[in-house]
Amino acid sequence: MYDPSMRVLTVLELLQARETVTGAELARRLEVSPRTVQRYVARLQDLGIPVEGRRGVGGAYRLKPGFRLPPLMFTGEEALSLALGLQALRHLGLQALAPAAHSAGAKLGRTLPHALRESVQALEDAVQLDASPWVVTTDAALLSQVLEAVRAARTVRFEYVSHQGQTTARDVDVYRAVHLGGRWYTVGWCHLRGERRCFRLDRMRGLSVLDLGFTPPDAFDALAYLRDTLTDLPPAHAVSVWLAAPPEELAGRVSLWRTDLTPEGGGSRLRCQREDLENFAAFLLGLGCAFRVDGPPELRGVFGRLAGRCAAAEAGGTLAHDPEPGAP
């Protein structure tokens, strides 16, 4: 089942969860003999944990009443998984949780034994997690509300802003929350449309959880549904750009979600579908290589406006925002 140290920790976990545990049950759960259980209990006692035993028929073990265990005790693999999970959390667009992630990491470090703490720190330092350039910042409190509604199977009400800027009121039976391609989505039954729909959390406003329950579908694969749905969505802008760098040089710097990156003419052809062309233009400039925009014309227009802003900044002027095309 486990190595001996894992079995000792399992005994401790069982004693924490139950007022008393019989030796026979521990032996069955650990797949060892009752005599071996006695050795594990003795090991816990050697570590200063007051385990009391009752001999005879029906003999059982318990922790001394009033004894308070340390708040966290982890194996090396458990500690590493927690540390890497906290590190990955910073790449999910939930900036509001960054202080909490740092605080949790600090608490984890203080709790671990010195040798294990050094081992985890060394492994953390050796790992680099790449943040997708398309990650969209999401309100952590909003995500928490959605997750609570999913857990309680409650309908939510919110205003939803479409890509065209139109706002509609929605009541939705939320089934799941999904992180895909740098964005958070929720999938559920939309009362307004009378069918399943997906919604981006960064476009949801004023969400409230209603006192209205529903029965979620069994074994619903929200991720598969979302991928199929997003594949069928009409593109906001079909982008085609030639980059003066081969694909291998761009690895890890270009998100491949809904993106095609192929060799072409000593460089790379990037084709994708993007909604926010100004952010995409800034991303292209940040790649640090020459490029040529072959489409759409609107992207070339964005670079024209950016050039004007750069010229104004170089001349010492200020220009905070460009007006929208066609705006007075």
CA distance linking residue 20 with residue 86, whole number of Å: 35
CA distance linking residue 167 with residue 159, whole number of Å: 6
Strands (E), the chain: 21-22, 51-54, 60-63, 154-161, 167-180, 183-190, 195-200, 204-213, 238-243, 259-264, 267-273, 291-295
Is the pLDDT score of 186 beyond 70? Answer: yes
Statement: the pTM of the whole predicted model exceeds 0.75: no
The answer to whether the 4-63 and 140-232 domains have the same CATH topology is: no
pLDDT at 237: 81
pLDDT at 19: 80
Average pLDDT (19-45) is 86
- The percent of residues above 90 in pLDDT, for the chain, comes to 24
Q: What are phi and psi of 98, to 5 degrees?
A: -60, -45
Determine the 3-state secondary structure of 151 from DSSP. helix
Class of domain 4-63: mainly alpha
Evaluated on CA atoms 76, 82, 85, 87, the torsion sign reads negative
Average pLDDT (116-136) is 67
Domain 238-314 has CATH 3.30.70: yes
Is the pLDDT score of 2 beyond 60? Answer: no
Burial zone of 211 (CB within 10 Å; 0-12 exposed, 13-18 middle, 19+ buried): exposed
Average pLDDT (22-51) is 86
For residue 213, list its beta bridge partners: 154
- On average, the pLDDT of the chain sits at 80
DSSP 37-96: HHHHHHHHHHTT--EEEE-STT-EEEEPTT----S----HHHHHHHHHHHHHHTTTT-GG
Average pLDDT (89-100) is 71
Q: What are phi and psi of 101, to 5 degrees?
A: -65, -40
* Buried-state track 220-247, b at ≥16 Cβ within 10 A, e below 16: eebeebbbeebeeeeeebebebbbebeb
C-alpha distance from residue 239 to each of 196, 232, 259 (Å): 29, 17, 10
Which residue's structure tokens are 């969400």? Answer: 207
pLDDT at 112: 75
Fold of 140-232: SH3 type barrels. (2.30.30)
What count of other Cβ atoms lies within 10 Å of the Cβ of residue 128?
Answer: 7
pLDDT at 324: 39
Among 92-96, 203-207, 211-215, which stretch is predicted with the lowest mean pLDDT?
92-96
CA distance linking residue 211 with residue 129, whole number of Å: 40
Dihedral-angle region of residue 133 (phi above 0 means left; psi in -120 to 50 means alpha; beta otherwise) = alpha
What count of other Cβ atoms lies within 10 Å of the Cβ of residue 98?
Answer: 13
Determine the 3-state secondary structure of 293 from DSSP. strand
pLDDT at 155: 97
Is the pLDDT score of 162 beyond 80? Answer: yes
pLDDT band at 185 (very low <50, low <70, confident <90, very high): very high
- By the 8 A CB rule, do 299 and 273 touch? no
Domain ranges of the chain: 4-63, 76-125, 140-232, 238-314
- By the 8 A CB rule, do 72 and 116 touch? no
pLDDT at 326: 34
Residue 54 or 166, more confident? 166
